[in-house]
Structure 1
Amino acid sequence: MKQVMSIFLFFVLLAPALGYAQTTLKSGDKAPDFISKDQDGKTVSLKQYKGKKVVLYFYPKDNSSGCTAEACSFRDNFNELTKQGYTIIGVSTDDETSHKGFIEKNSLPFSLLADVDKSIHMKYGVWSEKERNGVMGFSTTRTTFLIDQKGMISQVIEKVDTRNSASQILGLN
């Protein structure tokens, strides 16, 4: 029993503080609320989107090739996504200034949230340890959450096709 309790305490209390996270959210779960700042310094929370469908996508870094492709896929399909009732929100650990430049450079018609403290990443289980070029480190696990009008997760896309990320969503309907 002590061992089970120790493991429980590690994963519930210590692992998030140490940066260990694993996506456990699934379709049918309540989407965790959050409060953050967008590229203009405006406070944004998930609660303010109640009654709307939300595409909440997590990406590693502004201006990297894969993240730019993903954002541009949403941009290029923005009208179709909004026609189907979706509001698009991107989240990365970059700051507001970086997001503002990324939006301007790529003419993105949606908000990007600055999660510099990784609190949203931790709530959604997308901040995780990975190996890159033989070196272990922590970074964003690219993941898209579709959230329905009631604030429930309707779909989790873990295998994101960056060039066709919008098509992955539109193909689900």
Structure 2
Amino acid sequence: MNKPLTPACAAVHFWVAEVVVGHNFCPFARREVERETLAYHDCRSSSIAETLELFADAVQQLLQDDRVETSLLVLSQGFTDFNDYLELLDYAQLWLQQEDLEGTLQLASFHPHYQFAGTAADDVTNYTNRAPYPVLHILREASLERVLKRYPTPERIPEDNCARAEELGSAYFEQVLAQARTAQSK
């Protein structure tokens, strides 16, 4: 949306443009970036309870404002430990279930130290979900379904993303993440 971004949100915004849209890791993203329908929320708390309150606020904005297609809750002050982040992600998912929002909203997760189960920490495929800050990405499921119906092979998206990450290499992703951190200070 058209409000000034905090430094952390600017870093994530840069990363979305360069990686997510730039390499088509998410076929849904380009249109929404171009339409400026992404809402960025800077969460400066390291408390699960406070962060879940801000998460609930971001969800409510998304549900009430048709101009917002997707929201990114950027965790700029906490959850740098990946396991702590995963605990928060579990709570956020549970909150969506309790609010009967599964099927309406979906979460995607990104973290600077993201590691898929069964991969080594330095596996380049982890970069498909590595962002400059921990992020809870809240998406409208109906919008995703519309886009994926037109996408030729949606089941191949994760596999294609991993193959692209392997082509680009870890050094590329480290460079982009460093540039994102630089973008936040501008």
TM category, shorter: 0.3 to 0.5
Structure with greater proportional helix content: 2
Higher RCO, Cα 8 Å, sep 6+: 1
Structure with greater proportional strand content: 1
Q: Tell me the TM-score normalised to structure 2 length.
A: 0.36
